[in-house]
Amino acid sequence: MKILVTGGAGFIGSHTLVELLEQGNEVVVMDNFINSKEESLRRVKKITGKDFRFYQADMLDTAALDKIFEENEIEAVVHFAGLKAVGESCDQPIRYYTNNITGTLKLIDSMSRHGVKKIVFSSSATVYGQPKEVPIREDFPLKTSNPYGETKLMTERILSDVVKADPEWSVVILRYFNPIGAHSSGLIGEDPKGIPNNLFPYITQVGSGKLQRLRVFGDDYPTPDGTGVRDYIHVVDLAQAHLKALEYSAKSQGIEYFNIGTGKGYSVLEMVKAYEAITGKTIAYEVVDRRPGDIAECYADPAKAQKVLGWSAKYGIEEMCRDADRWQTMNPEGYKDEH
Enumerate the active-site residues. 148
CB of 117 or CB of 175, closer to ligand UFG = 175
Query: Which 84-143 positions form the footprint of ligand UFG (CB under 6 A)?
Result: 84, 86, 124-126
In 218-321 the beta strands, taken as DSSP E runs, fall at: 229-230, 232-234, 254-260, 266-267, 285-288, 297-298
- Alpha-carbon gap, residue 183 to 6, rounded angstroms: 20
**Buried-state track 263-284, b at ≥16 Cβ within 10 A, e below 16:** bbbbbbbbbbebbeebbebebe
Q: How far is the CB of 232 from ligand UFG (least distance, A)?
A: 8
Q: Pairing between strand 266-267 and 229-230?
A: antiparallel
Q: Which of 126, 124, 115, 121 is nearest to 103 (CA)?
A: 121
- Alpha-carbon gap, residue 80 to 235, rounded angstroms: 14
Query: Which 202-231 positions form the footprint of ligand UFG (CB under 6 A)?
Result: 202, 214-217, 228, 230
CB of 91 or CB of 166, closer to ligand UFG = 91
The torsion angles phi and psi of 233, rounded to 5 degrees, stand at -130, 135
Query: Which 162-201 positions form the footprint of ligand UFG (CB under 6 A)?
Result: 178, 197-199
CB of 61 or CB of 294, closer to ligand UFG = 294
Q: How far is the CB of 141 from ligand UFG (least distance, A)?
A: 15
Query: Which 304-333 positions form the footprint of ligand UFG (CB under 6 A)?
Result: none
Q: Is the peptide bond before 135 cis (omega within 30 degrees of 0)?
A: yes
Q: How far is the CB of 298 from ligand UFG (least distance, A)?
A: 6
CB of 79 or CB of 117, closer to ligand UFG = 79
Which positions touch ligand UFG (CB under 6 A)? Answer: 84, 86, 124-126, 149, 178, 197-199, 202, 214-217, 228, 230, 268, 291, 294
